[in-house]
Structure 1
Amino acid sequence: MAETTGRRERKKLQTRQALVNAAMRLFEQKGFERTMVTEIAEAADVSERTFYLHFPTKEDVVIGSAQVRLDEGLQAIAGWRPGQSVAEILERAAQSIVEDTWRHDLPSGLAALRVKLLASTPSVQSRLVHRMLQTQGELIDALHRAAPELVSRTDAAALVGAVLGALNATAILSIERGDGPDEVRAALRRGIDLALRPYQLMSLRKQSETGEATT
């Protein structure tokens, strides 16, 4: 049973990747707006129905494995253990998102295509903003749920917003200047560090003040 399930999942991933590859070729050749879902399905040698089983809209092809990245981030937050700081929890979640992007969307060229269409195609802009807000909300809930005694919902919103904002801004800048996958990953890691540093310094200051007050 496990072997059958594994084979089914691999087939599913292969079909999804074939659709992404076909879509990228057609977007480059014809432009995003002029490419039809039927053409993408035909180029990937699947039915239009199969396309919609994998992607709700044409814009979702551009988003790529956003749900996979979100799930990895949520899983990282859910793995919080007593003794870890909120910054450590969120940094681990953000790093898991970066690593998935580095393994998949950066080397395939999908991340570069996403940045290009983000600047030129309103429907892609709208879908990406919608997805970003959805991701932000789920990460905020997860962070507050994992450590409610350490971080209020307001603080969780501020921290998640800072990290996601840093990731988006650094990714766009790095990709637009032509950086390779490793350089983009380094920029994203730097963005995470800068976004969380004020909170880390504030936490250290509070710990110091608490220590002084008890001595």
Structure 2
Amino acid sequence: MSLRDRKRARTRQALVDAATELFERNGYQETTVADIAEAAEIGARTFFSYFASKEELLFPEADARVQATVDAIAMRGPDDGPVDVLLAALGAATAASDEIVSPLARLRLRLIHTVPAVRGRALQVQLAAAREIAERLAEAFPDRLTRVSAGALTGAFIGGVTGALEVLLEEAGEPGDPAVLEAALRTATEVALAPWRTGVP
């Protein structure tokens, strides 16, 4: 990364950290973009160079996780099936960052349940990810998946991760060991996708 890219990455993370703290302390609705920008020591206008809204800030690595999945599909081995590449993508995403089991993830889950705007953004993120991943899977495995079955498999994958993560974060307590949570998440996802190992030709 260039110096400029590193600086942008630090500022972006500072915004996420500031927002997480403010949302926890003051409440989501009560925290403004200006509050977050001030806590991160940047101007309010600069905030929008990084995130389009407070809601988007709660999903800072959504695009990176989709890209990890796309990369896993592209770099699949000759013997890898659709389930293999999805599990490889999950492993790559959790190895690159523990955001998925971080305090932000716990906060995000709570806000999805209580704030309609956050719930709406979560649905947008999930649907966009599912469409992109399903299309890439169908292209990569034309002899094994139709567009419909690729969509169903992707739904099982995303649903398995989401469902398992919700229970794991609720049961882990504060703060929860990221390595333990990530291992449990992978195991649960493998269980969710097990029927597809034999169900996909």
| TM-score (normalizing by structure 2) | 0.91
> Distance in 1 between the 2:112 and 2:31 partners?
16
Checking the alignment, whether the CA contact within 8 Å between 2:69 and 2:85 is kept in structure 1 is no
Checking the alignment, whether the CA contact within 8 Å between 1:171 and 1:188 is kept in structure 2 is yes
Q: Of the candidates 176, 182, 186, which is equivalent to residue 189 of structure 1?
A: 186
Q: Of the candidates 76, 82, 85, which is equivalent to residue 80 of structure 1?
A: 76
Q: Of the candidates 35, 42, 50, which is equivalent to residue 38 of structure 2?
A: 42
Paired residues in the alignment total 198
Unaligned runs of 5+ in 1: 207-215
Which is helix-richer, 1 or 2? 1
Alignment partner of 1:114 is 2:111:
no
Deviation at 1:101, TM superposition (A): 4.8
| Percent of aligned pairs with the same amino acid | 33
Checking the alignment, whether the CA contact within 8 Å between 1:74 and 1:139 is kept in structure 2 is yes
Unaligned runs of 5+ in 2: none
Checking the alignment, whether the CA contact within 8 Å between 2:94 and 2:100 is kept in structure 1 is no
Checking the alignment, whether the CA contact within 8 Å between 2:87 and 2:186 is kept in structure 1 is no
Structure 2: which amino acid aligns with 1:106?
A: V
Structure 1: which amino acid aligns with 2:78?
A: P
Q: Of the candidates 1, 8, 14, which is equivalent to residue 10 of structure 2?
A: 14
Deviation at 1:9, TM superposition (A): 1.2
Structure 2: which amino acid aligns with 1:115?
A: L
Q: 1:95 to 1:13 in 2, by over 3 A?
A: same
Which structure has the larger Rg?
1
RMSD of Structure 2 on Structure 1 (CA): 1.6
Deviation at 1:69, TM superposition (A): 1.4
Deviation at 1:181, TM superposition (A): 1.6
Structure 1: which amino acid aligns with 2:168?
A: S
> Distance in 2 between the 1:192 and 1:28 partners?
29
> Distance in 1 between the 2:141 and 2:45 partners?
42
Q: Of the candidates 84, 88, 94, which is equivalent to residue 92 of structure 1?
A: 88
Q: 1:83 to 1:105 in 2, by over 3 A?
A: closer
* CA distances 1:114-152 after superposition (whole Å, capped 9, x unpaired): 111112111111100110000011000111111212211
* CA distances 1:82-138 after superposition (whole Å, capped 9, x unpaired): 332222122212322333452x3434x111111111121111111001100000110
Checking the alignment, whether the CA contact within 8 Å between 1:143 and 1:156 is kept in structure 2 is yes
> Distance in 2 between the 1:198 and 1:105 partners?
25
Alignment partner of 1:200 is 2:194:
no
Structure 2: which amino acid aligns with 1:160?
A: T
Checking the alignment, whether the CA contact within 8 Å between 2:164 and 2:189 is kept in structure 1 is no
Could you tell me which residue of structure 2 aligns to residue 160 of structure 1? 154
